[in-house]
């Protein structure tokens, strides 16, 4: 089987990546404020005004341009095979490297992902593992749709703490079985098991590339 990286969609704009990092940091800072802030109220008004101006630049049809007959007014689809948090602040960011059916990396969850006091919300851990394990599949050359994802929460996962994780996988026929562990030092905090249906690169639908700006 090919080990060529899977991608599906266009890369995010550099401006979007910068915005995602800024919004994530801003959210974490605002969540820690003790008292009402005039600065925050002014910023909210500015953000609303910018959003209204940007709205006029949106395509008329917000469905992604994916498939054999993309509409001229549909939006560009961004690649979600890896590092989604780099352009979408709703997703976590992490450092990750993959080779030989295995990957490892580090992650630190900011306050934006807090649930119980000082602890990462379990739902964000599920998003994190889904991203990591599918990136492992895409980087190793065989990927597909998630069929199941189960988590075992063994210890509370702290926010604002550098954590490490490892991920492994094996391909069995048309199934990909993956396992990952998130740990603080030598203590495993959370485990994930994923099953995915192995796909074929030549069966992926066509993705319309980014169009030249007028």
Give domain status of residue 62, yes or no: yes
Among candidates 104, 124, 105, 97, which has minimal Cα distance to 28?
Answer: 124
Give domain status of residue 209, yes or no: no
- Dihedral angle sign, alpha carbons of residues 16, 19, 24, 25: positive
- Give the rounded percent of residues in the chain with a pLDDT score beyond 70: 98
Give domain status of residue 3, yes or no: no
Give dist(CA 150, CA 170) in Å, integer.
17
**Mean pLDDT score, 162-175:** 95
What pLDDT score does 10 carry? 93
Q: Encode pLDDT of 113-156 as tens digits.
A: 999 999 999 999 999 999 999 999 999 988 889 999 999 999 99
Give domain status of residue 211, yes or no: no
Q: Which pair of tokens denotes residue 19? A: 């915005």
- From the DSSP assignment, how many helices (H) and strands (E) are in the chain? 3, 8
Give domain status of residue 210, yes or no: no
What pLDDT score does 1 carry? 42
Give domain status of residue 1, yes or no: no
Q: Quick one: how far is CA 169 from the chain centroid?
A: 19
Residue 138: burial class (beta carbons within 10 Å; 0-12, 13-18, 19+): buried
Residue 214 pLDDT greater than 80, yes or no? no
Q: Which domain holds residue 69?
A: 14-203
* Residue that wins the pLDDT comparison between 118 and 1: 118
How many separate domains does the chain show? 1
Is residue 122 within 8 Å of residue 155, measured between CB atoms? no
Residue 213 pLDDT greater than 90, yes or no? no
What pLDDT score does 200 carry? 86
Q: What is the CATH number of the domain that holds 187?
A: 3.10.129.10
The average confidence (pLDDT) of the chain is 94
Give dist(CA 207, CA 187) in Å, integer.
42
Give dist(CA 146, CA 131) in Å, integer.
11
Give dist(CA 172, CA 44) in Å, integer.
51
Give domain status of residue 208, yes or no: no
Give domain status of residue 50, yes or no: yes
Residue 3 pLDDT greater than 50, yes or no? yes
């Amino acid at each position: 089987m090919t080990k060529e990286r899977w991608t599906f969609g266009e890369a995010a704009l550099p401006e979007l990546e910068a915005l995602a990092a800024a919004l994530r940091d801003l959210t974490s800072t605002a969540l820690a404020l003790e008292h009402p802030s005039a600065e925050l109220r002014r910023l909210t008004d500015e953000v609303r005004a910018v959003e209204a101006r940007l709205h006029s630049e949106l395509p008329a049809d917000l469905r992604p341009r994916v498939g054999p007959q993309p509409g001229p007014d549909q939006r560009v689809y961004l690649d979600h095979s890896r590092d989604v948090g780099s352009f979408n602040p709703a997703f976590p960011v992490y450092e990750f490297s993959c080779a030989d059916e295995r990957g490892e990396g580090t992650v630190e969850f900011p306050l934006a992902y807090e649930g119980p006091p000082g602890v990462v919300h379990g739902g964000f851990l599920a998003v994190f593992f889904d991203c990591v394990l599918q990136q492992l599949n895409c980087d190793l050359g065989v990927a597909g749709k998630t069929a199941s994802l189960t988590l075992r929460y063994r210890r509370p996962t702290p926010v604002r703490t550098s954590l490490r994780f490892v991920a492994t996988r094996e391909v069995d026929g048309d199934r990909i079985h993956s396992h990952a562990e998130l740990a603080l030092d030598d203590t495993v905090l959370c485990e994930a098991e994923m099953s995915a249906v192995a796909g074929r690169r030549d069966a992926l639908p066509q993705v319309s590339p980014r169009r030249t700006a007028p």
